[in-house]
A and B are shown apart, each in its own frame.
Chain A
């Protein structure tokens, strides 16, 4: 039996889904958290007569006719995949709005059971809903539930399974008018009548609430942006420099720097296996993967903080305060949500762009979101700041400031290159604030930790072993004494010339950057493998072995290069599906690569002149590249200027 969960945004579908399936899908207190269909089996605890039940969680929608991308998914599933029963989750605290969608669902010929959710909030407010009367009016079963504390859920599932087995559909309420408009009006009238009969409200929702008072501060004209920056700065410094950084240091130095390698060395020495195999395991696997896993605490702390933020209801407010500024660069206020989500991982970040209605704003957000440093890029930031800027706590967070600058500049450029005009209007529901759940944040953190370890022990381990092999063997598959004769060196040497204007001298740097496209953590792991021979010391010590390859200026440029060139392949895949056309994907990647390349080049060339008072290697090519780019931009923008504005057309 297949059961679909449908209802308004932020009515608690995913909370209910998690409760009855035991999953830990991401929930959040803003409309549009769920952007894809999620499926899972019903938990044993809720099973009725051993019936196998599959639950499908769908993105929230206010109506069966979709407004944004994720709502299309819901409509398509309900209309085309014929679930056996629909559980319509109705936000009890906003009954009159929710019933509009309910009446539409009731007409589909699929049994519907209504879960009257957020029952706790309703009773706290002192509002009363006459469930029996409502059930009679709508002609379907209604079960009061509180998904957060799992109340009423077994009752709900019982009714749902019963409805699915008997397969009797409710008699239809029919609003088919001459046209859409009159049928919608009739529907709205019908709902209003029902509300009058079945609901007694104690509170006037139009009164100023505590949430409104908080909004007047956090979304204040002048205070809004500074408060947002202070919060984000707090989250990132706490993750990178604070608790996360502190724990990571311990992991890196003690656990993966001494304890594990020593133990492994002793163990394998005792076994007496071949030294080559020992090197593969100790230097390749433990060294490389360990260099990445050492940063696990940093990522856990980051996700814990982000979870709290998402659960509080603040995200919708950030969209509201950013709207005015983002419109100027061709984005929507809603674009900030993919970007904040993207600071954890770019893949859900890019996917979250489908909540943006306007196609141009959506495309731009998809192209710009990967500029936000994601969790996988954190190890690179942490490594480079620890080695080159141990006394400058600002360098880590400065990457986020540069990310914001790149988003603004990128937005302005894209808007001119493709001549887009904002034709959209902004509307966002502001849910009431709630105390974020520490328990939930903790479970999300553990989830992310598991996923991270899984990634490190699969994709990163595999590539790391490959990197180890490529740097230890020649094309003739003979082990090499000198790394520079290895396969990896010859690959890196081919690519490294184009990186000279950026100050990245040596095939190692090219090789590390390339492995970063598989997964950004690979950059750190690759360095760990490549430099293991050069030094016994742990990779991340201040003034460590990396200083043979970088000056602080080129290190900063290298950071920028890895952060602002295209993201990992998985994120590129997400971009591909959101952009929906290969042409736009190519444009996006070309744009991202140019931005990362030119930014790193400018940092290197200008930085070298300012800091060391001399021109860097590749100064002349750098000037040529800069001039060519400037000429290209001027010509393209001029050419576009004389063309009519494109508004929301497909490529």
Chain B
């Protein structure tokens, strides 16, 4: 399932990250990559608030659609 379809409050293991190479690489350095955990904290103002490792990030819908969990 895509992260954009996920329910708030759930933690997932990341299966795959797609999209532009540069963005994928950047997400990787944050710890957003295959096998890592991601938690959807809330959906705010059209963005997805996620927890990766110990950090909170706001990502837009396009990016949420590129993360498969």
The residue that A425 contacts in the complex, of B19, B53, B56, with Cβ under 8 A, is B19
* Nearest-CB residue, chain A, relative to B31: A97
The residue that B53 contacts in the complex, of A96, A219, A428, A432, with Cβ under 8 A, is A96
A439 CB contacts on chain B under 8 angstroms: none
Contact A96 B54 (CB under 8 A): yes
In the assembled complex, the CB of A462 is this many whole angstroms from the nearest CB of chain B, namely 47
* Nearest-CB residue, chain B, relative to A218: B44
The residue that A212 contacts in the complex, of B19, B23, B37, B42, with Cβ under 8 A, is B42
B27 CB contacts on chain A under 8 angstroms: 427
Contact with B along A295-334 (1 / 0, CB 8 A): 0000000000000000000001001110110010000000
Contact B53 A67 (CB under 8 A): no
B39 CB contacts on chain A under 8 angstroms: 206
Does A638 count as interface, using CB distance less than 8 angstroms? no
Contact B45 A205 (CB under 8 A): no
Contact with B along A97-116 (1 / 0, CB 8 A): 10011000000000000000
In the assembled complex, the CB of B67 is this many whole angstroms from the nearest CB of chain A, namely 11
Does A172 count as interface, using CB distance less than 8 angstroms? no
Interface centre among A316, A425, A431 (most CB of B within 10 A): A425
A428 to B50, CA, bound (A): 11
In the assembled complex, the CB of B17 is this many whole angstroms from the nearest CB of chain A, namely 12
Contact B57 A94 (CB under 8 A): no
A63-B29, A67-B26 given; A321·B45 CB < 8 A: yes
Does A560 count as interface, using CB distance less than 8 angstroms? no
Contact B44 A216 (CB under 8 A): yes
A323-B45, A323-B47 given; A93·B54 CB < 8 A: yes
> Number of residues in A with C-beta < 8 Å to the partner?
41
A184 to B32, CA, bound (A): 12
Contact B63 A427 (CB under 8 A): yes
Does A211 count as interface, using CB distance less than 8 angstroms? yes
A215 CB contacts on chain B under 8 angstroms: 42, 44, 49
A324 to B42, CA, bound (A): 16
A94 CB contacts on chain B under 8 angstroms: 53-55
A320 to B19, CA, bound (A): 21
A324 CB contacts on chain B under 8 angstroms: 45-47
Does A479 count as interface, using CB distance less than 8 angstroms? no
Q: Which of A377-427 contact B (CB under 8 A)?
A: 425-427
A97-B31, A100-B31, A188-B28 given; A216·B42 CB < 8 A: yes
Does A150 count as interface, using CB distance less than 8 angstroms? no
Does A95 count as interface, using CB distance less than 8 angstroms? yes
* Nearest-CB residue, chain A, relative to B41: A212
A208 to B10, CA, bound (A): 11
A321 to B52, CA, bound (A): 21
Q: Which of B47-69 contact A (CB under 8 A)?
A: 47, 49, 51-60, 62-63, 66
A431 CB contacts on chain B under 8 angstroms: 56
* Nearest-CB residue, chain A, relative to B43: A221
Contact B60 A425 (CB under 8 A): yes
A94-B55, A205-B53, A425-B23 given; A320·B30 CB < 8 A: no
Does B7 count as interface, using CB distance less than 8 angstroms? no
Contact A426 B54 (CB under 8 A): no
* Nearest-CB residue, chain A, relative to B24: A181
- Top 5 A-B residue pairs of the complex, sorted by shortest distance between their CB atoms: A63-B29, A206-B39, A426-B60, A324-B46, A94-B54
- Chain B interfacial positions (CB closer than 8 Å to A): 11, 19-20, 22-23, 25-31, 33, 36-37, 39, 41-42, 44-47, 49, 51-60, 62-63, 66
A97-B31, A221-B44, A427-B23 are known contacts; what are 10 more A-B pairs with Cβ within 8 Å? A65-B25, A67-B25, A94-B53, A94-B54, A100-B31, A185-B33, A206-B51, A319-B58, A425-B62, A427-B58
